[in-house]
Amino acid sequence: MIELIKEMFSYHFMVRAVVVGALVSLCAALLGVSLVLKRYSMIGDGLSHVGFGALAIAAAVNIAPLYLAVPVVIAAAFLLLRINQNSKIKGDAAIALISSSALAIGVVTVSLTTGMNTDVSNYMFGSILSLSHADAVLSIVLSAVVLLMFVLLYPRIFAVTFDETFARATGTKAQLINSVIAVLTAVTVVIGMRMMGALLISSLIIFPALTAMRVCRSFKGVVICSAVISVVCFVIGMAASYAFELPSGAAIVIVNIIAFAAFSFAALLKKRA
């Protein structure tokens, strides 16, 4: 095992992928706790499809993918949030609507221009090799911003997640905090989907939070536990992907499934005891 990890880290691109991936996993896990509890679990999925559409268009017109995808996905996050507050279209329907539309636009763009090639497959299912040096630097900076914002706003994020009405009634700017959460989620989804793939990135947001909630009984406990689970699962998934030549995104999700099952089992045993 140690030999394997040593060998893995002897490749420069692997080091880069693991650093970026660990940071993204951390961001996704922290935001995920709030999103899952606010019933926004599917927002990651919706945004990743929008991200795919944006990346496809960026590739077609030859702009650096992240520079187009980040603003477009942030705009989509705001849109989803606004529609969610409008009671006429319910949140889940709105997400399904936007995500399938974006996916369709992306697919059409791809087939009109480059055709279905490995690039497209990388966006769909993720690839550690698709990460350029410039992408890596940008990803690290963005993840650092997301982490910092989360830590600084922690008490407010708790208040808005637990009881938004109370938070608003006592003067917390709940709308602003919700918008910040949406922007941070959008950024995390875009930088994460290069590695995880558009189809799998939402699992990075949902799984660690749900796994942590099996055993932890306080918000802080869930947040910390979820962060640790996410990073550990990512590293194990990466190692498995390297050792067995599996797509990295899928391998990481499988490890997360195993962790979820293990924690659920532990919670069951604890209840019996």
Partner 1 sequence: MAQIICRDLSFAYDGETVLSDINFSLDAGSYLCIVGENGSGKSTLMRGLLGLKTPSTGTITFNDLKPTEIGYLPQQTQIQRDFPASVREVVLSGRLNSMHGRLFYNAADKAAAAENMERLGIDDIADRCYLELSGGQQQRVLLARAMCATKKLLLLDEPVTGLDPVAANEMYNLIKLVNLCDNTSVIMISHDIHAAVRYATHILHLGHSQLFFGTTAQYRESDLARRFVGGERA
Q: Is 270 in the site for partner 1 (CB under 8 A)?
A: no
Minimum CB distance to partner 1 smaller for 159 or for 253 = 159
Site string for partner 1, 195-224 (x = CB under 8 A): ------------------x--xxxxxxx--
Count Cβ neighbours within 10 Å for each residue of 152-167 and write b for 16 or more, e otherwise.
ebeebbbbbbeebeeb
The single residue among 169, 261, 266, 268 that binds partner 1, judged by CB under 8 A, is 169
Stretch that binds partner 1, among 17-25, 75-83, 138-146, 168-176 (CB under 8 A): 168-176
Least distance to partner 1, CB of residue 172, Å: 5
| Rounded Cα distance, 150 and 155, in Å | 9
The single residue among 10, 155, 272, 273 that binds partner 1, judged by CB under 8 A, is 155
| Rounded Cα distance, 216 and 214, in Å | 6
Q: Is 154 in the site for partner 1 (CB under 8 A)?
A: yes
CA dihedral defined by 108, 112, 116, 118, rounded to 10 degrees? -110
Least distance to partner 1, CB of residue 220, Å: 7
Which residue stretches of 10-162 are H helix? 12-37, 43-61, 65-85, 91-112, 118-125, 133-152, 154-162
Least distance to partner 1, CB of residue 42, Å: 17
The residue among 45, 137, 127, 55 whose CA lies nearest residue 94 is: 45
Interface with partner 1 in residues 30-89 (CB under 8 A):
37
Stretch that binds partner 1, among 73-81, 101-109, 158-166, 239-247 (CB under 8 A): 158-166
Classify the C-alpha dihedral 99-100-103-104 as positive or negative.
negative
The single residue among 60, 105, 156, 228 that binds partner 1, judged by CB under 8 A, is 156
CA dihedral defined by 83, 89, 90, 96, rounded to 10 degrees? -80
Task: Name the token pair of 120.
Answer: 């497209």
Q: Is 158 in the site for partner 1 (CB under 8 A)?
A: yes
Q: Is 265 in the site for partner 1 (CB under 8 A)?
A: no
Q: Is 172 in the site for partner 1 (CB under 8 A)?
A: yes
The residue among 208, 257, 199 whose CA lies nearest residue 25 is: 208
Q: Is 228 in the site for partner 1 (CB under 8 A)?
A: no
Least distance to partner 1, CB of residue 164, Å: 9
Minimum CB distance to partner 1 smaller for 64 or for 266 = 266
Count Cβ neighbours within 10 Å for each residue of 15-30 and write b for 16 or more, e otherwise.
ebbbebbbbbbbbbbb
The single residue among 10, 62, 85, 165 that binds partner 1, judged by CB under 8 A, is 165
**Residue ranges in contact with partner 1 by CB under 8 A:** 37, 152-156, 158-159, 161-163, 165-172, 213, 216-222
